[in-house]
Structure 1
């Protein structure tokens, strides 16, 4: 039976692992090519040597990747098992008695009644029915949502259903000692029948469902829903009704696996491999054509045992296919893959990327080298460039010409009559407006409530406002679903809550209707863009121009415009009737419509100014990035003035007249960014943008072929992070979804300088060195074999012995590149941080001219070395003391030694930073070569390598050719660094 709530993040099981993983391995074109080569090696008529050594090499390549995948998948299996086998208590009715039983979390179904305990992680999306505190039934509970959004403030959840059944709680309906059920719980289990969930996507703060009981339906939203992954807090227990399990939960829908897409470097590498394939097929086709012509010329088929020339030509083509297959770098892909694992560990354990115990995480090791290729950075503002640590600084109150510093506020009432007079506005003075405004703020911060002596809530703005008010003697003592208990001075006041319409990005405001001292008020607060626009919300302001001027003058602050109006009891009754008629399908639009009727003719009362400080070292980091040639675009949902003020403070622009920077409104992004001239600006400030527009901006830059990194901390930044080449999420107050979805998760913006200038630069140069070396050494190897084919009449005979040929890539010349890929550093870290300009030269190590130079050098060196060795054997073969010549086997072994040592010495010169592993790799490379050629191979070939070593002229030939390769590589190095420096200057 299928278990709908089972979590499966693994890719394989023990029965499918080998077959499915092998399918994935062979889906890579390079591995498929290697498999075809191995199959041809099993055909004796074609293969120039036995297939066992190549089989071992192929097994090393695929086996390494398979072991890595297996280890990673085993970890996922263990994590899945911990979650799925967790014990959950389920309640049910049998013989008119309530019982509970223990089941595994994976066995939970939609429609189950679950009993939650404190600190327990919620196993599915569910509706809160009731909670218990000290054996008394309550209609609310608190949850910790940090697993979902990273926010540390507790959230309150309320129940619709418990209001109808809070009675007879002391009467037990169970004979179980472990948990005492009451009449309320019995009634709920009897009455609740089913639920219908509306698909609202994977957004955590939006949920809609209908809970059906025997006599009515309840419309439930995010206030009544406990999502999978939350933790129950501050109650003794809670009874919930499961409405969604498994992949239908919000967590299941929003799970974003680390991206496994092709990295920028891999795309460049793919282009190079395609060039190599072109060279490969040119060599193969030319050999096949010329070989066939050679067989037909002068009737030379007597040299071959075959009866038909066409058959012989086909066999020779197959043989050459195998010989030239070594042109494709078999081991390079494994070296890069394994080194990425090391790079991910370096990032996770870098102390420079750790803040207050928060460590950085690499979630996608496939893009570690792409950090060295960044041209553009797209940055969010709030929580990324700023701390998202709000400080309530100033207010402007109706009747005042200037803004007031909050620290100067004095708020004292001695009796209830003063507050009553305040509400009636019987004595209108500036102080009266100010006191009313502060009371207004206390009433309209509806997302916050006191809990265990601390203010908890979603909105950082509202928390900082209430904290400042509390310091001035105005305090929120208690918040329930339908009332507030306030303390103003020494006076406690109860205020009834009639309706709340929460803030939304589309409305850009929130409104609350309250009964306060026998009067009914609607209080609204929202963005200045919405509240000061006469066409949208007609807020009555005596001097609108003066208020707008004050807001614009203090644009560096986050502003909230506050307004109110008194409504009649008839208007309230009409609103109640209208809202009761709303159905599930269109309730959001209808609520907005009905509230808009009451929000007309609001009266301005004041404005709050809240400061959001810059992150530590933001300005210094941005200066370094700009010096490195990286262009930074800031994208925010804030208004233009706030965005430009932050840009100036952070160093993105010098002043408002800076012509090198342009500001664009979010709604004009599509038309403005299509113009390629936009790329000429040093920075771009985009304000009033939506999450979708952030993603569009990243996509436009990708279409311009610009390597882009995006950094952000909120759920609204996730589309941008996923669209960019590299996504960096900040583990901040706005949420953790950005950190989960991104390739890298870091604690703050300044971590970018370590991530890009250190890890990015090192990794890209490491990969560049190893890839170019792999390209050169294989072309060098095969060009000699290709030329030898001409010399031997296209016989398909290898110029190297089979042991050397099979292990050349896998063992002999792969160890030093592996240490370079993992440990090499061309310059000290502190020097790179002091000189960000060095980052500009990073991509020069892998530019087209350098790649072309490597290919040409491999071809020329192979040609010269072959001619020199051929000249020695053609003019005068290497002669032993007994008068016998070294012959084919002598040339075979000498060529193997020359090719190895010329490549080996070149690899040593690539090492910039020696570690113990570098010396071990050098020693093992030599040891493996000598063991193979002098011991393993020589045993099978009758001592040919020792015979070669007994010929004095062999040493002279070897040293002369090695001297030539050394001098030529020195010349190549000079040309290489000239190209690098030229590109850096450009």
Structure 2
């Protein structure tokens, strides 16, 4: 407490009201400075303690995020002492890293020369970051963890935008109160915690969780699985489309580039939509390269997605080239098998269609890391569905009596041993390079994603 003369109080009140009416961006700073002038030489009359206990699992979660290579920031409106106490109790700061408090440009320049620091940023340093100070930006890029204190909700959102623009980082923001909503909405991914402070954060976010400790599973398990599944699914569709196009391309050398379709035109239209769409989608939903216990116990596995190790240009070209190579095998094995024979174009198309679904399914099967009976049943169903389609279509076409109807063509083709030999040879030769490379990589680098 402090006794203030009436004249001194009147001067303070007059200045404070004047600053409250100021509409400039410096108002908060000037109000804080004015309050500091008054809050001097105080006498302690009593102490009240309020404990804001951390949720269970917060230290373990922050430790796991650090081990995953994620840079952890804490933006709080509390004063420095409170913020430091929270950071210490939550295990925010890496115990083996130096702590650096940045208050001005000189501190930022000094911090930029070191890597892996635990950084505390004052309000003045926060403004330096928003202005794009090169030394401070460099220090923040190298930092292990960052603590910012005395921040308003709007300043939190501004800092998130600063990190997005200046540091070029992918930002995930998590909060549990209404004052965190601007920050959550400004981030690339916003996560709200539904708790005692209300549901505002949970209603304004991309994902809502009940406890902070669930963040580790959301990122390290579901985040990793999501990246792994999307990367493999996209690459498979690129491969499959290249494969289908180049089968037609190779045939053009033998049909005078007339544009003649080598396979049944109806099958050609529905093949990518029906015959080979469900399998990669199901694999993309259910496949797992590592189980959840492994991902939770080894947070460093998260680096696979964080550094985009599975979906780069080299993977794009490898899968497209593999699709082109397999298309050549599918076409030329069939071409050489039926060369100088009296086989019709319908029969040749049946050979190629069967080879396509067997090779495409085999290619996808080599990528699968988590097999179960439903997936096996799905693969087998579409292989048999392929034969069922041709039997049904040939009977229907024969009934309509179109010119050159392929009546009983599948039966005629499947009675010929050349059909089965060609399918076995096609599958082995087409998948041999990928299978061999995967075996070598799994031997040289076991425990990694080597699809």
State the alpha-carbon separation in 2 of the partners of residues 690 and 797 from structure 1.
68
Q: Is the 8 A contact 2:246 2:328 kept in 1?
A: yes
**Is structure 2 residue 364 aligned with structure 1 residue 907?**
yes
In the TM superposition, what is the alpha-carbon distance from 1:745 to its structure 2 partner? 1.1
Residue equivalent to 1:632: 72
Residue equivalent to 2:90: 650
Which digits, 9 at most, give the CA deviation of each residue in 1:31-87, with x for residues without a partner? xxxxxxxxxxxxxxxxxxxxxxxxxxxxxxxxxxxxxxxxxxxxxxxxxxxxxxxxx
Gaps of 5+ in 1: 1-396, 399-505, 508-528, 548-603, 878-884
Displacement over 6 Å in runs of 4+: 975-984
Residue equivalent to 2:142: 680
In the TM superposition, what is the alpha-carbon distance from 1:651 to its structure 2 partner? 1.7
In the TM superposition, what is the alpha-carbon distance from 1:844 to its structure 2 partner? 2.0
State the alpha-carbon separation in 2 of the partners of residues 747 and 974 from structure 1.
43
State the alpha-carbon separation in 1 of the partners of residues 324 and 151 from structure 2.
54
The within-5 A match list for 1:334-733 is 535-536=34-35, 538-539=37-38, 543=41, 605-606=45-46, 608-654=48-94, 657-658=98-99, 660-666=117-123, 668-672=125-129, 674=132, 675=134, 676-677=137-138, 678-703=140-165, 704-733=167-196
Q: Is the 8 A contact 1:721 1:742 kept in 2?
A: yes
Residue equivalent to 1:830: 293
Q: Greater Rg, structure 1 or structure 2?
A: 1
In the TM superposition, what is the alpha-carbon distance from 1:873 to its structure 2 partner? 3.7
The within-5 A match list for 1:785-934 is 785-842=248-305, 843-874=308-339, 876-877=340-341, 885-934=342-391
Gaps of 5+ in 2: 3-18, 21-28, 101-116, 398-405
Q: Is the 8 A contact 2:129 2:162 kept in 1?
A: no
Which digits, 9 at most, give the CA deviation of each residue in 1:290-343, with x for residues without a partner? xxxxxxxxxxxxxxxxxxxxxxxxxxxxxxxxxxxxxxxxxxxxxxxxxxxxxx
State the alpha-carbon separation in 1 of the partners of residues 188 and 441 from structure 2.
28
Partner SS, residue 633 of structure 1: strand
TM-score (norm 2): 0.78
Partner SS, residue 844 of structure 1: coil
Distance change (3 Å), C-alpha of 1:939 and 1:623: same
State the alpha-carbon separation in 2 of the partners of residues 666 and 936 from structure 1.
74
Residue equivalent to 1:936: 393
State the alpha-carbon separation in 2 of the partners of residues 714 and 820 from structure 1.
38
Partner SS, residue 328 of structure 2: helix
Normalized per residue, which structure has more helix? 2
State the alpha-carbon separation in 2 of the partners of residues 912 and 864 from structure 1.
26
TM-score (norm 1): 0.37
Partner SS, residue 706 of structure 1: coil
| Number of corresponding residues | 393
Residue equivalent to 1:969: 434
Q: Is the 8 A contact 2:329 2:426 kept in 1?
A: no
Normalized per residue, which structure has more strand? 1
Q: Is the 8 A contact 1:845 1:980 kept in 2?
A: no
Residue equivalent to 1:956: 421
In the TM superposition, what is the alpha-carbon distance from 1:841 to its structure 2 partner? 2.0
Distance change (3 Å), C-alpha of 1:853 and 1:608: same
Residue equivalent to 1:772: 235
Residue equivalent to 2:206: 743
State the alpha-carbon separation in 1 of the partners of residues 302 and 179 from structure 2.
30
Distance change (3 Å), C-alpha of 1:812 and 1:624: same
